[in-house]
Every structure is written in C-alpha cells, then in structure tokens.
Structure 1
Amino acid sequence: MINETVLDQGHKLVDVHSTKNLNDSDRTSLIENYNLTNEILDYADDENERARFEYDEYSQTFLIVYNVQNENEQSDDLSQRVLPISFAIKDKQLFLFTNDATHYVRDYLLYAKKNFSEGKENLLWELIFHTFDQISSDYSDQISETDSKRNKIQRLIKKHHSSENQILDLAELQDLTTYLSTAISGNATVLNEIELISSGKVQQLHLTKATHEHLHDSVIEIEQIKNQVNLSSDIIDRISNTYNNILNNRTNTTMKVLTVYTIILSIPTIVSGFYGMNMKLPIADQEWSWIFSLIITIVIILIILWDLHRRNSL
C-alpha cells in the first residue's frame, strides 16, 4: 500500500507499507510512477538485507537500509526482534519502506516534521537523522531493559536461588544482545559512511552546516549505543561463565562429598566382613569381640578423615 503525505510545498513522504513483502502492483507503481529502479526495490524489499548506504547514479536516488526493532517485542524468534527498513531519497521525495512490524517509524518522521518550519533546508535528511536519533533511543531503552533482567538473574545467583530457568534466561539474553549488537554496528557503519561522503561533497550529497552537525551528533549517539550494547554483552557473557563455574564447582563438591561417604561407609563393611568369615581371627571367640570390631572401625575411619583433612580434601 502506497500513501503520500505532503511535508511542505516542495517535499512529500511516500509511505510504502507492506504486510511482509512488496506486492506486484506496488512494485509496478513505484517503477512507473516514481521512476525507482528494480535494484532499489530489491534492496528495500529484502527482509534479510544488511544495513547499507547506496547511491544509484542512473536514477539519482539515495538508498539507506537501517535496522530497527520489531514492534512486537514478544516475538519468540529472537532473529526477528531486529528488522531492516529502507529510506530512499529521489528529487524531493522521501520513500519509506516498512512492514507491519516496523511501520511505527512513519510516526517518528511525521513527529520530527513538527520541529521544522516551511522551506527548511535539507528537510528530508533532517527528518531521517531525527528518526535515527529516535531509533537509537529505542535501542538504549532495550539495552536498559536487558540490563535490568541481567541484574535480576545476578541477584538470584548470589542468593543461591539459581535454576535451569536462569540458564535459559541467560542464553536468551546472550542471543538478544548479539542481534542488537550486530544491528547497531550496521547502523553505525551507515551513519559513518553518510558523514564521510557528505564531508567529501561527492555523489551530490550536500548538507548545510547545521544538518552536518546534526549528522555528527547522530554518529556520536549511535557510537555510544554501540559501546553500551557491547558492554552489556560482555557482562552477560562473564555472568554466564561465572554461572557455569559455580555449577561446575557445585558438581565437584557433590562428587567429593559422595566419594568421602563412599570411603567411610566401606570401612564397616570391610571390618565386619573379616569377622564374618569362617576362619579364626584374634579375639573372635570373645563375647566382646563385636565391641573390638567397632573400635577398629572407628579408628580406621578417624585415620582416613585425618588424612583427608591433611591433604585438604575435605
């Protein structure tokens, strides 16, 4: 579905909203009525496309593929928690390609428009950079939520309330931060490319000083988010390793205790086994011989316990 929104007298937003992928009628309309190329549409329609910045000299169209979060945050498939959207700038038209899970980005563009007066220079780029800032803020909120979940698991581990659920939760957080880190790194690369190209004044990308400063601020913001998610990912990995070490240590302690019990409990069996044999043994014919066997058993147990203690095995 294609909807047009007038931004000011000279600019308009073309919202290309698909349920999942572009249908044939929308693709035909974009090619025939808006002069977009199949290559641009293939990039914009690919749900697995990596973040990128391209300029098509033939159609004189800028294309930006950017990673945003899935509006359905409860999606079971973590690989779908981050999805690509596309912006295309041709002449004075801004094309936005989204699906049902990412269409909220249109609201960011329209909200950003309220901050600018009629005839604003570099209006389309300013709208895109404001949208990038809001997307970065969304990532920051997601990372903070992830940190909160991580702290909760940490507290449970410290209180020895750990269970299989914590292992699964940690694994999910590790996967989520990996997807977030990859998406944010791709976005940072895109912004750095735009800044580099705009600074060199090539490929017809000419930004005013104010717009370029805004772009630079957006680059700094995404770099901070990138560092934030990398730090969060490192901490989660360390907690996971610590948790594994704790579980291994508990297993070793359990095995050590069981080994000690096995050794101790085997001694009475050995001693009583000797006195149960059909053969003559010292004082076996005395009435108090069973007491003597208990004394021998206790003495041997004490000697073994002392030896284990001496070797720091208890």
Structure 2
Amino acid sequence: MINEIVLNKRHKLIDVHSTENLNNTDRTKLIEDYDLTNEILDYADDENERARFEYDELSHTFLVVYNVQNENEDSNDLSQRVLPISFAIKDDQLFLFTSDSTHYIKDYILEAKAHFTEEKENLLWEFIFFAFDQISSDYSDQISSTDERRNKIQALIKKHHSSENQILELSDLQDLTTYLNTAINGNVAVVNQIELISSGKVQQLHLTKVTREHLHDSMIEIEQIKNQVNLSSDIIDRISNTYNNILNNRTNTTMKVLTVYTIILSIPTIVSGFYGMNMKLPVADKGWSWVFSLIITIVIILIILWDLHRRNSL
C-alpha cells in the first residue's frame, strides 16, 4: 500500500507499507510514477537485507537500509526481533519502506515534521536523522529492559534459587543481545558511511553545517548504544559462565558427599559380613560379640572420617 503524505509545500513522504513483500501493483507504480529502479526496490523489499547506504546514479536516488526493532515484542523468534527498513530520497520526496512490524517508524517522520516546521536545506535528511535518534532511543530502552531481566536472574542466583528456567532465560538474553549487537553495528556502519560521504569528498551528497552536526550527534548516540549493548552482552556472558561454574561446583559437591556416604555405609556391611561367615573369628562365640562388631565399625568409620578431613576431602 502506497500513501502520499504532505510534509510541507515542497516535500512529500511516500509511505510504502507492505504486509509481506511488495506486490506487483505497488512495484509497478513506484517504477512508473516515481521513477525508482528495480535495484532500489529489491534492496528495500528484502527482509534479510543488511544495513547499507547506496546511491543509484541512474535514478539519482539515495537509499538507506537501517535496522529497527520489531514492534511485536512477543515474537518467539528472536531473529525477527530486529528487522530492516528503508529510506529513499529522490528529488523532494522521502520514501519509507516498512512492514506491519516496523510501520511505527512513520510516526517518527511525522513527529519530525513538527520539529522542523520552517523550510530549510537538507530537510529530508533531517527527518531521517531524527528517525535515527528515535530508533537509538528504542534500542536503549530494549537494552535497559534486558539489563532488568539480567539483574533478576543474578539476584536469584545469589539467593541460590536458580533453576532450569534461569538457564533458558540467560540463553534467550544471550541470543537477543547478539542480534541487537549485530543490528546496531550495521547501523553504526551506515551512519559512518553517510558522514564520510557528506564530508565533501563525494559530489552527490551536500549537507549543510547544521545537518552535518545533527548527523554527528546521531552518530555519537548510536556509538553510545553500541557500547551499551557490548557491555550488556559481556555481563550476560560472564553471569552465564558463573552460573555454569556454580552448577558444576554443586555437582562436584553432591558427588563428593555421595562418595563419602558410600564409603561409610559400606563399612558396617563389611564387618557384619565377616561375622556372618562360617569360620572362627575372635569373640564370635561371645554373647556381646555384636557390641564388639559395632565398636570395630565405629572405630573404622572414625578413622576414615579423620583421614578424609586430613586430606581436606570433606
């Protein structure tokens, strides 16, 4: 579905919203009415496209593919928690390619419209950079939410209330931060590329000083998010390793206790077994021989316990 939204007297937002892939009708309209190329549309329509910045000389179109979060946070497939969207600038038109899960980005563009009311150069780029800032804020909120979940697990581990559920949740957090890290690194590369190209070394993109400053601020913001997710990922990995060490230590302790009990409980069986044999043994014919066997058993157990304690095996 294609909607035209007037941003001001000169600029328009072309909102291209697809439930899945671009249908043939929308693709034909974008090619015939807006002079976009199949190459641009292929990039914008690919749900697995990596973050990138392209300039199509044939249609004089800038394309920015950027990673954003899936609006459906309840999605069980963690690989779908981060999805690509595309911005395209051609003449005085800003194209936004989104799906059902990422269509909320349109609201950021409309919010930017209220921030940039006056006519100015590079207005469409200002809209894009404003959307970058909001997307970075979304990532920051997601990382903060991840940290809260991590802190709860850490508190349970310290209270020795850990269980299999914590192991599975730690695994989910590791996977989630991996996807976030990959997506954010892709966005960092895109912003750096735009800044490099807008520095004046490439003729196709000319940004004013104010717009370049906005871009630089956006780059600083996304770099901070990158550091934040790296830190969160490292802490989760360390907690996971600590958890594994705790579980291994508990297993070792359990095996040690079971071994000690096995040794101790085998002694009465050995002593009583001797006295149950059909052979002459000391004091076997006395009425108090069973007391004698108990004394021998206790003495042997005490000697073994003393030896284990001496070896620091208890």
TM-score (structure 2 length as normaliser): 0.99
- Where in structure 2 are the equivalents of 1:12-27 lying within 5 Å? 12-27=12-27
State the alpha-carbon separation in 1 of the partners of residues 234 and 147 from structure 2.
11
**CA deviation profile, 1:25-84 (whole Å, cap 9, x unmatched):** 000000011010000000000000000000111111100000000011110111111000
**CA deviation profile, 1:108-140 (whole Å, cap 9, x unmatched):** 001011111231211000000000000000000
State the alpha-carbon separation in 2 of the partners of residues 91 and 78 from structure 1.
37
Deviation at 1:187, TM superposition (A): 0.3
State the alpha-carbon separation in 2 of the partners of residues 117 and 182 from structure 1.
35
1:246 aligns with 2:246: yes
Letter in 2 for 1:118: E
1:311 aligns with 2:311: yes
Aligned partner of residue 64 in structure 1, secondary structure: strand
Counterpart in the other structure of 1:276: 276
Contact map agreement 2:200 2:206 (CA 8 A) in 1: no
Counterpart in the other structure of 2:176: 176
Counterpart in the other structure of 1:35: 35
Unaligned runs of 5+ in 1: none
State the alpha-carbon separation in 2 of the partners of residues 80 and 117 from structure 1.
35
1:198 aligns with 2:204: no
State the alpha-carbon separation in 2 of the partners of residues 122 and 258 from structure 1.
74
**CA deviation profile, 1:132-167 (whole Å, cap 9, x unmatched):** 000000000000000000000000000010001000
Contact map agreement 1:55 1:203 (CA 8 A) in 2: no
Deviation at 1:7, TM superposition (A): 1.1
Letter in 2 for 1:43: Y
Letter in 2 for 1:251: T
Aligned partner of residue 114 in structure 1, secondary structure: helix
State the alpha-carbon separation in 1 of the partners of residues 115 and 41 from structure 2.
30
Counterpart in the other structure of 1:222: 222
Counterpart in the other structure of 1:3: 3
RMSD: 0.7
- Where in structure 2 are the equivalents of 1:62-101 lying within 5 Å? 62-101=62-101
Contact map agreement 2:82 2:179 (CA 8 A) in 1: yes
Letter in 2 for 1:155: A
- Where in structure 2 are the equivalents of 1:48-127 lying within 5 Å? 48-127=48-127
Contact map agreement 1:52 1:186 (CA 8 A) in 2: yes
Aligned partner of residue 53 in structure 2, secondary structure: strand
Aligned partner of residue 33 in structure 2, secondary structure: helix
Aligned partner of residue 5 in structure 1, secondary structure: strand
Aligned partner of residue 83 in structure 2, secondary structure: strand
State how many pairs are aligned: 314
State the alpha-carbon separation in 2 of the partners of residues 268 and 294 from structure 1.
8
State the alpha-carbon separation in 2 of the partners of residues 48 and 144 from structure 1.
26
| Percent identical | 84
State the alpha-carbon separation in 2 of the partners of residues 68 and 257 from structure 1.
52
State the alpha-carbon separation in 2 of the partners of residues 201 and 94 from structure 1.
24
TM-score (structure 1 length as normaliser): 0.99
Deviation at 1:200, TM superposition (A): 3.1
Deviation at 1:203, TM superposition (A): 4.2
Aligned partner of residue 101 in structure 2, secondary structure: coil
State the alpha-carbon separation in 2 of the partners of residues 255 and 293 from structure 1.
29
Deviation at 1:9, TM superposition (A): 1.3
Contact map agreement 2:15 2:96 (CA 8 A) in 1: yes
Letter in 1 for 2:253: T
Aligned partner of residue 58 in structure 1, secondary structure: coil
1:156 aligns with 2:156: yes
Contact map agreement 1:4 1:14 (CA 8 A) in 2: yes
Counterpart in the other structure of 2:292: 292
Aligned partner of residue 161 in structure 2, secondary structure: coil
Aligned partner of residue 55 in structure 1, secondary structure: strand
Aligned partner of residue 62 in structure 2, secondary structure: strand
State the alpha-carbon separation in 2 of the partners of residues 96 and 191 from structure 1.
17
Contact map agreement 2:121 2:208 (CA 8 A) in 1: yes
* Deviates further, 283-292 or 134-143: 283-292
Letter in 2 for 1:196: L
Letter in 1 for 2:93: Q
Deviation at 1:250, TM superposition (A): 0.4
Aligned partner of residue 85 in structure 2, secondary structure: strand
Counterpart in the other structure of 2:138: 138
